[in-house]
Structures are given as structure tokens and as C-alpha cells.
A = this chain, B = another copy of it.
Amino acid sequence: MENSWATFGRDLHLDLTGPGGLRAALLRALRDAVRSGRLAPGTRLPSSRSLAADLGIARNTVADAYAELVAEGWLSARQGSGTRVAERVLPRATPPAARRSPGPGPGPGPGPGPRPADRADRPRFVLTAGTPDVSAFPRTAWLAAARRALTTAPSEAFGYNTPYGRPELRTVLADYLARARGVRADPDRIVICAGFIQGLALLSRVLGTGRLAVESYGLDFHRAVITRAGLRTVALPVDERGARTDELAALDDVRAALLTPAHQFPTGVPLHPDRRAAAINWARATGGFILEDDYDGEFRYDRKPVGALQGLDPDHVVYLGTVSKSLAPALRLAWMVLPERLVDPVLALKGTGEWQSGALDQLTLAEFLSSGAYDRHLRGMRLRYRRRRDQLVAALADHASQVRVSGIAAGLHAVLELPPGTEQATLRAARRQGLALDGLSRFHDPTAPPASRDALVVAYGTPPDHSFAGAVDALLRALPSGEQEPGEQEPGE
């Protein structure tokens, strides 16, 4: 019998004497077997008990290896059908986004690189920013909302929809955003889009020419979207009060400024009230726009929520929100709350048909919001992320007290300040520990004056729960030592 339990173990050609022990050897062998095609997609694996018996090793070792390979996407474990080799399209597999470096930050992960690379060099732990813990997606609650949406949707919802987005969703969002984020939202000013990036692209094209100010720490692919639309970017410095919006007035030909007021990405500071006022004053004086990227505004832990900047002046601020951090990037659902004078131009551009989003997910999200499931999900995720943050902070205090942590009052990531000049070496050490991780310098706009801040951006929200402790351990091992090596006893102590 092909791939029977008995032959399976032998076919793996396990070299149990290799480096790293039995578990590492098993992982290596299984990955190789999948990669080489010896284990075809869909192949059912023996139970951990059987394989352990067959190989003469502990069952836990096999079970752990399976779990890790499931988490990495090599295997899939479906209820009732055991563990199987994941279905993939070979040879050009689309790799699990959670395992390939999932592009950082508030926008979409995948850069333009079209074809996924081989998965051999995949990290064990991903702490790069941009993706929430997708293993926590509320599948059951989402399905219940989808059922209600599908049952009650009028027939016309299945036809061609307008570029506005479904009215059901815009109505519910207006209430939600007013309540949760202090947004002054009229459904007529809300336009649904397929992710923040699509919104930014539409707005950039509507603005057309001139310059768009961006924060000097931010995302390169945001800047790329802006320049592809024909605008130029100009960097606003970021300090401990957030973006230097007080410098906007001195800049020429700036049509708009893209800001992350609630939680500057990636430095993590909220925009100071003076800077908020300066931004609004600039927009009023010049007729410019603030593009408010509220990518993780729902996640706050220790302090009062920072209301949306848009509430101060809905006629000069475009509010951009998304479910990519709160639910899942895969939904490709986001929204813009627009000043009146931008509604028609944005709809006219979006109406060309290349930019439309599916209606069923919109209707499902409307149900998810109006039923209270969204609030419940956010409460649960807030607790979960806060716990992780506290774990991280405590572990750093215990084992790496030389590292200062900041930006942790909100969001899904922390900034770890490093001793000057150690960022690159620390990143190399992290890679050796199997960690995917970014340094702060990666987010620095190369057109801005040089910055000499060494830090790590640690997205504690990204990994699934079961691998978080391992990720923190690996991080601790990668950090530069202070006076003493973490985990080492001083002689005589």
C-alpha cells in the first residue's frame, strides 16, 4: 500500500543523528519530502502515534513536529480527516502569507514581487508588522453573519453594484465609526474600497499632481502607490510627538498629508494635540487634505482612546479604516470617509469598474457589525494582544533590561530601542534564530534627512498564540547583551 503507515516512516529516510535532535530531523525530513514531491499534496499522514511507534521515538516529538508544520503551512489538519500534506500548486506554490515575510506595516503585505520564492528559507517565527493573528479569525461568527446576509439580501445585491459600496454597510459603518472612533460619518460620504492601498491609490489619483507629505517613518509601498499615481512625496520628520505637522506650512505645493495620528507607524507615538491642531490649521489655510490612516485605532490598552483626527474637521480630513488589522487582510475591505467635495471625484474614478469589491463580504461585514459580533471580536483580540504585549514587556524586563520598549500603549507592535550601531547585527542574529523581523531603519524614508535611531519593530500581534512564547524566546536570544548575558549567571551569584 503506497504511503501506508509502515512504509511512510522508512520513505522519509530519516537521519535522526543530524543536528538539532530528533524533532529537528523529523521537521527537516518532512519538509524535504513535501518539497521534493515525494509526499504529494493531499496525502494523508499517519497519526502521530503510529509514526512515533514506527520510528521508535516519542509521540510528543511527532505531534509537535506536525503542529509546527501545520502552523507553517506544509501540512493541514482538518477535523475528521487527519493530517495531510497541504494542497498547493506546484511548482509555483502560493506560499502561506503568514510564513513568507508578510510585508510590514499597516498596508498590504505582499510587495510587487510576483512569484513566491521557494519555502526552504522560511522563518520559524514571524514578528514583522502588517498582519494580525490570522489564526484568530472568528470563523464561526463570520459564517453566522454570512448566513444572515445571504438570507436577507435583496436580489439586486447580487447584480452589479455601484462604486459606493453596499448601502447596508455604509449605514452601519457610519454608526460604528461615530461611536468607536469619534468619526463624523455620514453614509453618503463613506466609500467602500478593497483595502487601504486601494483607497490611497484612488485618493492620490484624484489629487492628481503636486506633492503629498508622508511621515519620515512609514511604509515604502505607501510612498510607491503615491508616486505611481503621479504625485511626489515629501517627508515630514517624526519625533516623540509624532509627525512634524507644524512644518507643513513651510512646504510648497503640498496637496495632502498622509498621517497615522492614533499610533504613528512604526514608532508608535500618538500625534500630540498641538500637532493635531497644526495639521488641521494647515489644511484649512491651504485647502489641503489630511489622509488619516487609522490602521489599528481599535487596539488601545492603557490609555484613553485617541479619537480620530477626522472628528475635528470632516471637510479637510479623509478618514481611512480597514478590517485588515481587526479581522483579516484577506477580506480586502476598507473604507474612506470623505469630505463632501471628494465624494464625486472618487466615485467617478472608482466607477470605471476596475476597482470594485465583492458585495457578499460587504453585506456580511454589515451584519457582523450590526449584530455586535465585531465589538465582541475586538474585545477578545484586545485582551489577547494585551496579554502578549505584557508577556513581551515582562520578558524583556527580566532578560534584556538594557532594551527600552516604546510605542506599546496601542496597536499590535512595539519598538525596541537598541544600543547605537547594533540594529543590523541584531537583525542578523534574529535571522539565525529563525525570526522574521524588521529594524526601524527599514521604515525610514530614504529621501528624509538621515536618522540614527537603532531599534527593532516587533509585531507581537502577528504570530499565532501557540508560537508566541517561542517567538519571544528566540527574540531574547537575538538581542544584544547588556552588562550580562541573558540567562547566564554571573560568577559568584
* Contact yes or no, B328 A159, CB < 8 A: yes
- A336-369 interface (Cβ within 8 A of B): 343-344, 347-349, 351-361
Query: Is A114 part of the binding interface, using a Cβ–Cβ cutoff of 8 Å?
Result: yes
Across the interface, A353 reaches (CB within 8 A) one of B79, B137, B163, B197, namely B197
Which residues in B have their C-beta under 8 angstroms from that of A464? 155
A145-172 interface bits toward B, Cβ cutoff 8 Å, 1 = contact, 0 = none: 0110011111111111111101110110
* Contact yes or no, B156 A107, CB < 8 A: no
* Contact yes or no, B160 A97, CB < 8 A: yes
- Give min CB distance, A196 to chain B, whole Å: 9
- A108-163 interface (Cβ within 8 A of B): 108-116, 130-131, 134-135, 137, 139, 142-143, 146-147, 150-163
Which residues in B have their C-beta under 8 angstroms from that of A28? none
Which residues in B have their C-beta under 8 angstroms from that of A361? 358, 360-361
Query: Is A22 part of the binding interface, using a Cβ–Cβ cutoff of 8 Å?
Result: no
Query: Is A88 part of the binding interface, using a Cβ–Cβ cutoff of 8 Å?
Result: yes
Which residues in B have their C-beta under 8 angstroms from that of A78? 151-152
**Complex Cα–Cα for A331 and B224 (A):** 29
* Contact yes or no, A187 B139, CB < 8 A: no
Query: Is A291 part of the binding interface, using a Cβ–Cβ cutoff of 8 Å?
Result: no
Number of interface residues of A (CB under 8 A): 94
Which residues in B have their C-beta under 8 angstroms from that of A135? 155, 158
**Complex Cα–Cα for A161 and B109 (A):** 8
Query: Is A89 part of the binding interface, using a Cβ–Cβ cutoff of 8 Å?
Result: yes
Judged by DSSP, the binding face of A is loop
**Complex Cα–Cα for A331 and B157 (A):** 10
- Give min CB distance, A203 to chain B, whole Å: 11
Question: Assuming A167-B87, A353-B107, is B194 touching A159 (CB within 8 A)?
Answer: no
**Complex Cα–Cα for A88 and B164 (A):** 13
* Contact yes or no, B162 A94, CB < 8 A: yes
Query: Is A228 part of the binding interface, using a Cβ–Cβ cutoff of 8 Å?
Result: yes
A396-417 interface bits toward B, Cβ cutoff 8 Å, 1 = contact, 0 = none: 0000000000000000000000
Which residues in B have their C-beta under 8 angstroms from that of A353? 107-108, 110, 195, 197-198, 201, 221, 225
**Complex Cα–Cα for A292 and B286 (A):** 49
Query: Is A99 part of the binding interface, using a Cβ–Cβ cutoff of 8 Å?
Result: yes
Query: Is A480 part of the binding interface, using a Cβ–Cβ cutoff of 8 Å?
Result: no
* Contact yes or no, B163 A98, CB < 8 A: no
- A54-113 interface (Cβ within 8 A of B): 71, 73, 76, 78-79, 86-89, 91-99, 102-103, 107-113
Query: Is A249 part of the binding interface, using a Cβ–Cβ cutoff of 8 Å?
Result: no
* Contact yes or no, A156 B97, CB < 8 A: yes
* Contact yes or no, B356 A156, CB < 8 A: no
* Contact yes or no, B108 A134, CB < 8 A: no
Which of A130, A159, A359 gathers the greatest number of chain B CB atoms within 10 Å? Answer: A159
In the complex formed, the residue of B with least CB distance to A76 is B154
* Contact yes or no, A188 B110, CB < 8 A: no
* 21 A-B pairs whose Cβ atoms sit less than 8 Å apart in the complex: A71-B155, A76-B154, A79-B151, A88-B167, A89-B170, A89-B187, A91-B188, A94-B164, A97-B159, A97-B160, A98-B159, A99-B156, A108-B353, A113-B351, A130-B160, A134-B155, A134-B159, A161-B329, A198-B353, A225-B354, A331-B360
Counting from the closest, the 5 A-B pairs by CB-CB distance are: A96-B156, A114-B347, A109-B160, A97-B159, A330-B359
Chain A residues close to B by CB (< 8 Å): 71, 73, 76, 78-79, 86-89, 91-99, 102-103, 107-116, 130-131, 134-135, 137, 139, 142-143, 146-147, 150-164, 166-168, 170-171, 187-188, 194-195, 197-198, 201, 221, 224-225, 228, 328-333, 343-344, 347-349, 351-361, 464
Given contacts A108-B160, A143-B150, A157-B330, 9 further A-B contacts (CB under 8 A): A93-B167, A94-B164, A112-B349, A114-B348, A115-B347, A130-B160, A137-B158, A146-B146, A155-B464
